[in-house]
Structures are given as C-alpha cells and as structure tokens.
Amino acid sequence: MSDMALYDTRGHRLYLNAEERDAVLGEARKRSARDRTLIETLHFTGCRPSELIEITPARIDLSGGTVTIRSLKKRKDAKGSAKIVYRAVPVPPLYLDTLNTAHGIREAQKSKKRADAPIWDVSRVRVWQIVKDVMTEAGVPDAPHRSPKGLRHGFGINAVVSGVPLHMLQKWMGHAQLSTTQIYADAMGKEEQDIASRMWG
C-alpha cells in the first residue's frame, strides 16, 4: 500500500483545487515564456520538477500531442538491475503551440545537439522558486499545497474528476503501483462534490 497522501498530518490539503489551478495558469500566462511554459508543463503533465528539467525537444511529439518524461523513481527489472522507464503524457495542442513558439522545438529537433539539450536550463530549486512565486501572485494560500507537488497532486485529482481511468493515470504519473494512484480516487471537498453531482444527475 502507498504511503502517499493528499493531506498532511494536520489535515492540510496537499493539492491545488480546480480554482487554484486556473488561477496559477492565468498568472503563469503573464510571465516570461520560460516561466509560463515551465508552469504549464507541470500543470499539463503532472511531472515532478526533477523530471521537468530533463525534458528535451526530442521528447516533444508536436504531431502526436505528447510529452515523453523519464521517470526518475528507481525501478528494477526482473533481474534486479536498474530500469529506465519513460512515459508519454497527452497534452493540449494549444500548450504544444506555445511550447514550440517559445522554445523553437521544431527547429531544435533538426539538430542532434539541440534536440537532446534540456528545454529549461534551471535547477530544481529554481523550479520550486518559480512555482512558489507564481502561486503566491495567483493568490494560493500560504499552505503545504503551495508547491510543485501541489500542482502534481492537482493534476491527479483533476484527471480523476474528469473521468480518466486509474490505470491510465498511473501510467501518466509514472507510478509503479496502482495503489499509489488510488489516493486520487479518494478526492475530497469540491472535487468529491463534482464526482457526486454526476451521480445526482
């Protein structure tokens, strides 16, 4: 069973709700191309900051509509050797257009050197600072969910509320076990109300 949770030990929410996610996206769209696309990538893929800073133009499929992410959680194959796992996450066409325009993805893909260079030349700490700053300006309260992990968990909650099957969400988020993904099915508050409202008709 997973030890991951959507609430901390004091009952504070660890995910951004739909309203906060929209506010963060709105604020990100006022920022520089680098900061905007960085926030949008976290928002639309649910990736971790350490995974984000590894994404290269070669892993952006503009025509297929996906971003391929290397899972940085350690995995072992049947023989116990370390295994590299990639996952392709479907993303909106408008986001891909912005990414291509801001970072010249299509052009970069024509050059081996540029195709394999990270899109965002920043550290994990800098990603955290950018996210925190955008969230603060977007009015996200100073609480545990005002963080990159809050965006990741928000992605998971949003997927479940939108009807994405858990096994698909497991793949998109790079979880080794379905039990880890299961926490998103335990969404509470407004998200649970949205799910319940479908039942009420």
Q: How far apart are CA 21 and CA 43, in angstroms?
A: 8
76 - beta bridge partners?
Answer: 82
**Coil, helix or strand for 7?**
strand
CB within 8 Å of 18: residues ≥ 6 apart? 158, 161, 190, 191, 194
Distance of CA 120 to the CA centre of its chain: 15
**pLDDT number for residue 1:** 39
Residue 78: Cβ-neighbour burial (10 angstroms; 0-12, 13-18, 19+): exposed
Q: Is the pLDDT of residue 103 over 50?
A: yes
What tens digit of pLDDT does each residue of 37-57 get?
A: 999 999 999 999 999 999 999
- What are the φ/ψ torsions at residue 101 (nearest 5 degrees)? -65, -45
Query: What mean pLDDT is reported for the chain?
Result: 89
Q: How far apart are CA 122 and CA 35, in angstroms?
A: 10
**pLDDT number for residue 80:** 67
Q: How far apart are CA 86 and CA 56, in angstroms?
A: 13
- In this prediction, residues 91-114 reach a mean pLDDT of 97
Confidence band for 2, pLDDT divided at 50, 70 and 90: very low
Catalogue all structural domains in the chain, each as residue range(s) with its CATH number. 18-195 (1.10.443.10)
**Coil, helix or strand for 31?**
coil
Structure pTM? 0.87
Query: Among candidates 18, 71, 13, which has minimal Cα distance to 45?
Result: 71
